[in-house]
Chain A
Amino acid sequence: EPEVTQTPSHQVTQMGQEVILRCVPISNHLYFYWYRQILGQKVEFLVSFYNNEISEKSEIFDDQFSVERPDGSNFTLKIRSTKLEDSAMYFCASSEVRLNTGELFFGEGSRLTVL
């Protein structure tokens, strides 16, 4: 069964360092998303991406965050200068069609720990 894959599964970094989280969405999907979940809290939307550009982003997704699809298969989330409060599980997701009609598939997540 096709799945969304994410790497790394866990990354520990020092505050102020840059982090790149990688995702390979399901191959025929056109819409890509990043969500985060701080331990014990609800899943929060970060950004959606379609047709090689950001279509929606939340207040969390400030200038420290960026996304790109460098090679047609990978979808990356970069945090330029990590803060302690960036520690969370980051989930990539993809859908074949727009979310008001389609199924959303999540990856297993990348746990980011900022020290």
Chain B
Amino acid sequence: KNQVEQSPQSLIILEGKNCTLQCNYTVSPFSNLRWYKQDTGRGPVSLTIMTFSENTKSNGRYTATLDADTKQSSLHITASQLSDSASYICVVSGRGNTPLVFGKGTRLSVIA
């Protein structure tokens, strides 16, 4: 069964600190992996999309990595800000028209 598992479920960090969120997936055949940021009560907003051939991709203070062999991805947030407080969702796309598979997300809280 195609699944996406994320860890940790929630995380609290101090402003200015770095953190890394994890994603493991079983979706096959694989097409791409996405990380979304979802503020409470809002729609998800795309941070990165990575295909099979990409190992790392950055978007400002967000850096995503992908290991397609072990089916793992991480999202690293550098120098966290209060506005980074949100849920971060890992989403995997299979090939063809198969629907996206969503993880449950990691709830990040950045505190002063």
Contacts and interface: CB of A to CB of B under 8 A. Distances in A.
B104 A48 contact: no
Nearest to A45: B99
A91 B43 contact: yes
Contacts of A43: 44, 89, 102
A73 interface: no
A108 B43 CA distance: 4
Q: Give the interface residue-count category, chain A.
A: 20 to 34
B110 interface: no
B54 to A, nearest CB: 13
B97 A103 contact: no
B100 interface: yes
Given A43-B89, A56-B97, A109 B41 contact: yes
A100 B62 CA distance: 22
Contacts of A45: 99-100, 102
Nearest to A10: B41
